[in-house]
Amino acid sequence: MTITEKILADHCGKKEVLCGELINAKVDLILANDITAPIAIKEFKKTGAKKVFNKERIALIPDHFAPQKDIQAAEQCKSIREFAGEHELSLYFEVGRMGVEHALLPEQGLVLPGDLVIGADSHTCTYGALGAFSTGVGSTDVAAAMATGECWFKVPESMKFIYYGKLNKWVSGKDLILMTIGDIGVDGALYRAMEFQGEIIEKLPMSGRLTMCNMAIEAGGKSGIIVPDNITKEYVQSRAKREYKFYESDSNSSYVEVKEYDCSKIEPVVACPHLPSNTKYATELTDISIDQVVIGSCTNGRLEDIREAESIIRGKSVNSNVRMIVIPATQQIYKDAMKEGLLESFIDCGAVVSTPTCGPCLGGYMGILAKGERALATTNRNFVGRMGHPESEVYLSNPSVAAASALLGRIAHPEEVGK
């Protein structure tokens, strides 16, 4: 079996599972945010359940419209705060303690290798970077799982992606996943587990792995996953709040498709409007002017991402025609970036630094685009109207390209600005 099949089999109490099989499996963690949790809470109450299955295994994180941007957002956040209090949930993260959910939970050691995790957010697939099976589900499935501790699944087929060669300078996990989506399309892995392997993945830091698995959904994937190794162990052993288990795929595992990529040929990649699969190299887009740059999100708001962007802008000035918005993904990342002087660098160069929030990624707030404006962001989606007006445009890139572009007022390769 593949790593995905082994995790699912263990969680449904079977020796093996087959692709396409419908199963009911126990979940290790359930999460929802200030947009999706209120719906789940309403459905939970309809079930008649008096208490949740486990008050230590339900994470409610107000991160999309929080700190509350308007009255409606305040009401949504209030509803999940009250539910968390009523059921004594230990994993409710209020403003000041919260962060972008998919950065916060791994950082806090709440998602671990071998886990089965569901979340009422499509980017729940992020946690596959730790060797967990994690996937986004609807709010009604979350409601049922909060009551029973279980969820139903169709066992997905697995695709294998092998990355070999040597990464060029300024190429990261973001470029690998954008390149992959550009190759297979936004439905190229529809309801499949995307298993990332190869010598490049074996050397990729956890931050890059989290970025790659985060965007599996942008290829239609049910999940993204990486077999855990020493990098995984180093990341989780000091964080883990409970025991965990490393799974691996058998050497004779069956994959519906195998793709191989020579990474020595890859340059920094940019996804153009209005699909993550509409990819080109940054060097092909240097005539595209921009109005806004966003560094942050569950895709690229980690400390490594902020360091990378800061190394580009240090001692320089943001272009006078550009708004640069930097959003550390968690309070801990904010503190670490502050201690390292990174935030001061951004402010000195003319950028604004925000408290942790999803904010502009989903067109929530903290950077909405007007008609005709263009943004280059380290986020994960660039659909029509994603960041504001339906006649605005969003381009996606890694942090170094975003930072270089903020300086030049147009899409730029980092080498254009030097260090």
Residues 362-387: pLDDT tens digits? 999 999 999 999 999 999 999 999 99
pLDDT of 274 reads 95
Query: pLDDT (tens digit, 9 = 90+) per residue, 274-283?
Result: 999 999 999 9
Output the CA angle 58-63-65, nearest 5 degrees.
Answer: 130
- What string of DSSP letters covers 70-130? SHHHHHHHHHHHHHHHHTT-TEE--TTT-B-HHHHHHHTT-S-TT-EEEESSGGGGGGGGG
Residue type, 222: K
163 near 199, Cβ under 8 Å?
yes
Token pair for 210: 């989290």
Provide mean pLDDT across the span 165-193.
Answer: 96
- Averaged pLDDT score across all residues of the chain: 96
Confidence class for position 12, pLDDT limits 50, 70, 90: very high
Report the candidate in 212, 87, 203, 217 with the shortest Cα–Cα distance to residue 143: 87
Q: Above pLDDT 70, what percent of the chain?
A: 100
Provide mean pLDDT across the span 8-36.
Answer: 97
Q: Assess whether pLDDT exceeds 80 at residue 418.
A: no
In whole angstroms, give the CA distance from residue 234 to residue 218: 28
DSSP E strands, 137-237 = 150-154, 157-164, 192-197, 223-225
372 near 391, Cβ under 8 Å?
yes
CATH 3.40.630.10 is right for the domain spanning 272-416: no
**Start-end of H helices in 206-357:** 206-214, 230-236, 297-300, 303-313, 331-339, 342-349
pLDDT of 419 reads 55
pLDDT of 379 reads 97
Residue range 3-260 forms a domain whose CATH class is alpha beta
pLDDT of 131 reads 98
In whole angstroms, give the CA distance from residue 174 to residue 180: 10
Query: pLDDT (tens digit, 9 = 90+) per residue, 332-341?
Result: 999 999 999 9
pLDDT of 316 reads 97
Query: pLDDT (tens digit, 9 = 90+) per residue, 93-140?
Result: 999 998 999 999 999 999 999 999 999 999 999 999 999 999 999 999
Query: pLDDT (tens digit, 9 = 90+) per residue, 43-98?
Result: 999 999 999 999 999 999 999 999 999 999 999 999 999 999 999 999 999 999 98
pLDDT of 339 reads 98
Q: Assess whether pLDDT exceeds 80 at residue 298.
A: yes
Token pair for 261: 């990529």
Output the CA angle 348-353-355, nearest 5 degrees.
Answer: 155
130 near 93, Cβ under 8 Å?
no
Torsion (CA) 261, 262, 265, 267 in degrees, nearest 10: 50
Domain with CATH 3.30.499.10 in the chain: 3-260, 272-416
In whole angstroms, give the CA distance from residue 174 to residue 176: 5
Q: Above pLDDT 90, what percent of the chain?
A: 99
